[in-house]
Amino acid sequence: MSVEESALRSKISKDGETGDLTDGFHLLIDAFQKNGLNNIYGVPGIPITDFGRLAQAAGMRVLSFRHEQHAGNAAAIAGYLTGKPGLCLTVSAPGFLNGLTALANATTNCFPMILLSGSSEREIVDLQQGDYEEMDQLAIAKPLCKAAYRVLHAEDIGIAVARAIRSAVSGRPGGVYLDLPAKLFGQVMDAEKGHRSLVQVIDPAPRQLPGPDAIERALTVLKDAKRPLIILGKGAAYAQVDDTVKEFVEKSGVPYLPMSMAKGLLPDNHPQSAGAARSLALLKSDVVVMIGARLNWLLSHGKGKGWGEAGSKKFIQVDIDPKEMDSNVEIAAPVVGDIGSCLQAMIDGMGVGWSAPPSDWTTALNEKRDGNLAKMKQRLGSDTKPMDYHTALGALKEIIADRPDAILVNEGANTLDFARSIIDMYKPRKRIDVGTWGIMGIGMGAAVAAAVETNHPVLAVEGDSAFGFSGMEIETICRYNLPVCIVVFNNNGIYRGTDVNPTGGDDVAPTVFVKDIRYDKMMEAFGGIGENATTRDELTEAVTKAMDSGKPTLVNAVIDETSGTESGRIGNLNPQSVVKRS
Ligand code: ADP
Ligand code: TZD
Ligand code: MG
């Protein structure tokens, strides 16, 4: 025991306590462990380096990244996959800001996470006297997350962590910010008192039961439907009530469309899937049941040409957030509550003998779907050289079909849009992608979290631009020896590699990269396996080997630089200039 420690012990024990000491560092660690939070994703530095060390010493898994944004994305995906808030740990000002994009993205996507950032001294920050990495972090975080708290006293750590956990996972999940001033970590208090100040959060995401009238209203609307449709969103996947979702869909007999990250909640080859007849389903349906999905831009806000004539549909919406109702169009039957309780109440209300939707509707959708799938099947068998998207994704589709437990991470423009429609998923929460914002840069953070939290192999299908946002984290993947295979769809740029500078100047066009980069060499530099694939067979061989060995691998897949389209499938969102400059 050091002289200082024994002096402190005798001072505190005079207050009638045991004389054993604890401090901010240990109380934080104990608070997380008491609540079953055992993984931290972050980047070390002042003032949180020792916190990371002590957390590791206490048995937590502390995963260090090369940039906080990716650590934050990992925490968010850990939250999505486990239903417990993922923890991201950063240093003050710049580290905090790097993590903030991930916090905002998590909140936008309804993923629970807690961003823990060290911060500098309040007295100096508030007088703007120029502390090391000074910034009023709490004020900046507030508008970008669900809740933001600062802890000034060690004895408040237990309550602060409890509030952060509850805020992240209750109701609509999201990001929470916890501000940890440097002084807090070293604050000492009596160990027994400290122990008693910790809180185990009981029932952190309480069930929320829907009103019986809401259920009755919804079932009346559904019963009268001639052409009903269910849309499953990632909220339904997050809720982890997979059997209830399946029972509701199957008992209702209603065709369903999965949103991107809800793919696999029911297997994509389920007989009621209308995934390959999406346009017809949206256009012609008369009643749409939204389950954990929002009518945001991804669904053209529930209106517009693709949805048929205005007023031609009624919506039933199941969501935990009452404010989501009527956010874009009128909701005829709002069902507010947690998805498990809501769907169970609807199943019970359907009773026995609920009749399936009219067969002319289901037959029309099935015919359309089967026709589209047959056309697609032909294209997916292709063996072009260089590979186009269909050739390469046709190969990866088979690899995932043989390994339904693998997790697919996917980002890019064409690389995202084609993969989403081509690669079938068979189990819940196996597809992680750019989410609500269509954000680039989630790839490697998501891959790390998927591997760490599930121990299943991960296949990350990445546009070459998308990969660049988080590419340095392949060192992280190698360092922790994670079972991640990254396939970079290398088409020499953003959307295509063929744009030219119209002035004829030396700079290439803004969407074009260095031609024929060998991303596989990056992986080799960190001790992972690098492969270059120019044909379908080479791609199949390299990815199969990687998925079966579990060794960190990067496959540079050479894709025809002419085969993509502007912005993938959302080129219509680009503003167009009508002015011609001479
Ligand atoms: P997608 O992008 O797949 O369409 P969104 O992210 O737009 O999905 O929507 C997810 C919705 O799910 C959000 O409105 C959120 O409030 C809701 N949600 C999340 N968890 C639950 C839950 N356990 N019960 C009910 N609704 C939930
Ligand atoms: N920055 C961020 C954070 N998110 C974004 N979505 C973008 C920029 C803009 N963007 C897209 O929407 S897709 C994309 C960018 C830069 C990259 C597309 O190129 P890619 O995929 O190489 O990843 P394809 O296969 O070449 O289309
Ligand atoms: Mg590209």
Return d(Cα 526, Cα 412) in angstroms, integer.
Answer: 24
What is residue 30's three-state secondary structure? helix
In the predicted structure, residue 265 carries a pLDDT above the cut 70: yes
Question: Domain containing 424 — which CATH number?
Answer: 3.40.50.970
416 and 449 housed in the same domain: yes
Reported as a pLDDT band with limits 50, 70 and 90, residue 580 is confident
Which of 365, 396, 418 terminates a domain? The answer is 365
563 assigned to some structural domain:
no
Looking at residue 19, its pLDDT comes to 80
Q: What is the mean pLDDT of residues 376-383?
A: 94
180 and 238 housed in the same domain: no
Which of 147, 165, 197 terminates a domain? The answer is 197
**Per-residue b/e over 147-176, b at no fewer than 16 CB within 10 Å?**
bbbbbeebbbbbebbbbbbbbbbbbbbbbb
173 and 82 housed in the same domain: yes
Question: Domain containing 318 — which CATH number?
Answer: 3.40.50.1220
Return d(Cα 330, Cα 233) in angstroms, integer.
Answer: 19
24 assigned to some structural domain:
yes
Looking at residue 7, its pLDDT comes to 64
Return d(Cα 396, Cα 355) in angstroms, integer.
Answer: 39
Looking at residue 246, its pLDDT comes to 98
Contact between 449 and 396 under an 8 Å Cβ cutoff? The reply is no
In the predicted structure, residue 582 carries a pLDDT above the cut 80: no
Looking at residue 273, its pLDDT comes to 98
What residues contact 7, with CB distance under 8 A and at least 6 apart? none
Q: Which stretch of DSSP H or E encloses residue 114?
A: strand 113-119
Distance (angstroms) between ligand 3 centre and the Cα of 462 equals 8
Locate 425 and state its tokens: 């998923």
Report the atom number in ligand 1 closest to the C-alpha of 262. 3
Which of 339, 365, 391 terminates a domain? The answer is 365
235 and 124 housed in the same domain: no
205 assigned to some structural domain:
no
Q: Which of 110, 256, 326, 341 to mutate to test the pocket of ligand 1 (most atoms within 8 A of CB)?
A: 110
132 and 70 housed in the same domain: yes
pTM of this structure: 0.97
- Taking only the tens place, the pLDDT of each residue in 430-460 is 999 999 999 999 999 999 999 999 999 999 9
220 and 314 housed in the same domain: yes
581 assigned to some structural domain:
no
Return d(Cα 361, Cα 363) in angstroms, integer.
Answer: 5
304 assigned to some structural domain:
yes
Structural domain count of the chain: 3
374 assigned to some structural domain:
no
102 assigned to some structural domain:
yes
- Whether 23 lines ligand 1, by a CB cut-off of 6 Å, is no
Reported as a pLDDT band with limits 50, 70 and 90, residue 1 is low
- Whether 341 lines ligand 1, by a CB cut-off of 6 Å, is no
Contact between 210 and 336 under an 8 Å Cβ cutoff? The reply is yes
Return d(Cα 8, Cα 18) in angstroms, integer.
Answer: 12
DSSP code at position 264: T
DSSP string for residues in 128-151: T---TT---HHHHHGGGSSEEEE-
Which runs of E-coded beta strand occur in 388-544?
407-411, 431-433, 458-463, 484-490, 529-533
216 and 138 housed in the same domain: no
What is residue 509's three-state secondary structure? coil
Distance (angstroms) between ligand 2 centre and the Cα of 374 equals 30
Locate 152 and state its tokens: 């000034």
373 assigned to some structural domain:
no
Reported as a pLDDT band with limits 50, 70 and 90, residue 10 is low
174 and 305 housed in the same domain: no
Report the atom number in ligand 2 closest to the C-alpha of 564. 27
221 and 334 housed in the same domain: yes
287 and 263 housed in the same domain: yes
CA 276 remoteness from chain centre: 24
Q: Which of 387, 391, 440 to mutate to test the pocket of ligand 2 (most atoms within 8 A of CB)?
A: 440
Take atom 7 of ligand 1 and give the residue whose Cα is closest.
294
Locate 171 and state its tokens: 């109701």
- Whether 393 lines ligand 2, by a CB cut-off of 6 Å, is no
Looking at residue 190, its pLDDT comes to 97
Structural domain boundaries enclosing 301: 212-365
Single-letter residue type at 21: L
Q: In Å, what is the CA distance from 187 to each residue of 23, 28, 560?
A: 5, 12, 60
155 and 300 housed in the same domain: no
- Whether 292 lines ligand 1, by a CB cut-off of 6 Å, is yes
Distance (angstroms) between ligand 3 centre and the Cα of 491 equals 5
What residues contact 239, with CB distance under 8 A and at least 6 apart? 245, 292, 338, 339, 340
134 and 27 housed in the same domain: yes
Q: In Å, what is the CA distance from 179 to each residue of 6, 78, 85, 118, 362?
A: 30, 21, 16, 6, 53
- Whether 262 lines ligand 1, by a CB cut-off of 6 Å, is yes
- Taking only the tens place, the pLDDT of each residue in 500-533 is 999 999 999 999 999 999 999 999 999 999 999 9
- Taking only the tens place, the pLDDT of each residue in 283-338 is 999 999 999 999 999 999 999 899 999 889 999 999 999 999 999 999 999 999 99
